[in-house]
Amino acid sequence: MSDPATLQVLASALRGLAEEMGAALIRAAHSANIKERRDCSTALFDPDGRMIAQAEHIPVHLGAMPDAVAAVLELDPEPGAVFVLNDPFTGGTHLPDITLVSRAADLGLLVSRAHHADVGGMWPGSLPAHSREIYQEGLVIPPLPLTDEVLRLMLANMRNPEQRAADLRAQLSSHAIGAQRLGELAERFGQEGLLRGMDELHGYAERRMRAAIRRVPEGRYQASDVVEELEGEAEIRATVTVRGDGVLVDFEGTAEQRDGNLNCPLSVTRSAAYYVVRVVCAPDLEASGGAFVPVQVRAPEGCLVNARFPAAVVAGNTETSSRIVDVVMAAFGQALPVPAMGQGTMNNTVIGNERFTYYETIGGGQGACQDADGPSAVHVAMSNTLNTPIESLEREYPLRIERYALRPGSGGAGRPRGGDGVIRAMRVLEDCRLSLLTERRRRAPKGAAGGGDGSLGENRLNGRPIAGKLSRDLRAGDLLEIRTPGGGGYGPPRG
């Protein structure tokens, strides 16, 4: 398939397939986290396990998917078989993200990943602030065929199993749609033409990324930052080396893995690095595994960003991945103009008991760039979700939103200003338990080129400050308030 016009038609059709899978998953899901916040991702891989097309969903999900597909391919799945996994050390991200991988005849593999509101563990929502090993965070699922027996075993270890089952059925429905559309494309282009087109699209993405990297000044660029532990901090160091048409991101010097849950599996670290290289070098390049080929990621085994099993990782997926983006972006900033830092956190908020589980990440300020203010009240970097609409939240959960507003002035000052964070205050209407995994409560997002820093985030309970990371009981009537960070400004303010 060397005709460029035909190849572009196929590329659009494959992207449409991935997007339609995502739309089917969102429409069929039951939990607010998937149907309202869209905390899910879908993608198409070729028979060899190379990512060909993905929906524009969650960056931290998508960049880690190739490792999950590789783990399933080692088990030689039969056509039509569906495998399930969530193990972060075999291509997962953190345990609430359940991945399904199915083989669509000999045409390719279909993948969906969705954040389920609970997968068991020591605390409702499976995001405990004090976990020290992965077993405390929920049920660990290695790559397994999704049989009825496996499904029953999974659901027996999760809270609200009826909703978990419904969301898994939604994932399965997205795979059925994807398999149907892939079959239709095989009829339209021929099986040989379809597979040859996938190969050409993968190679095209690699060539475009290599051409974009060549435009970056060659050199060795270093940066560092920290994540905030329950007590103390852990440093992330990155050295970005640009040579010719390739990039090496090396995390030598990063802190060792921790007793807490800020650890990252290597698949998540790769995902964050891929995201930055694409944003900096080729932001208009449609996502494909080919774009990852010119990028190497190294990290010492047993460090914070390449943790060994059975390390706890639940905050590594959300918070440490966000900081990896900040650090790698700052390193590239020594070679090219890059935006100021965004809020640098997903503001994970989990409230639940034996009857319900509410999970949400909350938007904040994005950093300003050379020629534009940073957007306000958006999810930044590795998250690409929505906030839960108030009407949906109050209908489904015993919660009442008492304030939801921009946080004026929280964006950093600058020639273009940083975006503002938000204030989200909710009152719990029955006894329950709270977990918070939030960052940028001690160190503010930095401005760029002389711009001001964004404001620190704040968490409050009944008007009193509380820690950035905690798990505790709540009583009916308690008021939780999350004030999210602003983004940094760019350049000295005018006047």
Per-residue pLDDT tens for 18-43?
999 999 999 999 999 999 999 999 99
Residue 349 β-bridge partners? 360, 436
Q: What is the pLDDT of residues 366-421, one digit of tens each?
A: 999 999 999 999 999 888 888 899 999 999 999 999 999 999 999 999 999 999 99
Residue that terminates a domain, selected from 156, 190, 205: 205
> Rounded CA gap, 488 and 485, in Å?
9
In this prediction, residue 63 carries a pLDDT of 76
In this prediction, residue 30 carries a pLDDT of 95
**Residue 310 belongs to some domain of the structure:** no
Residue that terminates a domain, selected from 186, 205, 224: 205
Same domain, 200 and 345: no
Where are the alpha helices (H) located in 223-295, listed in sequence order? 266-281
Residues of the chain with pLDDT under 70: 1-2, 495
- For residue 50, the enclosing domain spans 4-205
In this prediction, residue 391 carries a pLDDT of 95
**Residue 219 belongs to some domain of the structure:** no
> Rounded CA gap, 467 and 441, in Å?
8
Same domain, 22 and 171: yes
**Residue 439 belongs to some domain of the structure:** yes
Q: What is the pTM of this model?
A: 0.96
Which are the contacts of 133, defined by CB distance < 8 A and separation ≥ 6?
A: 310, 311, 312
**Residue 255 belongs to some domain of the structure:** no
Q: How many CA atoms lie within 13 A of 10 on its CB side?
A: 26
Residue that terminates a domain, selected from 184, 205, 226: 205
> Rounded CA gap, 435 and 348, in Å?
8
Which are the contacts of 147, defined by CB distance < 8 A and separation ≥ 6?
A: none
**Residue 326 belongs to some domain of the structure:** no
**Residue 294 belongs to some domain of the structure:** no
**Residue 307 belongs to some domain of the structure:** no
In this prediction, residue 491 carries a pLDDT of 96
Count the domains in the chain.
Answer: 2
Distances (CA, A) of 70 to 97, 169, 176, 230, 385: 17, 24, 21, 35, 26
User: What angle, rounded to 10 degrees, do the helices at 148-156 and 161-189 form?
Assistant: 140
Q: What is the CA radius of gyration of the chain?
A: 22
**Residue 330 belongs to some domain of the structure:** no
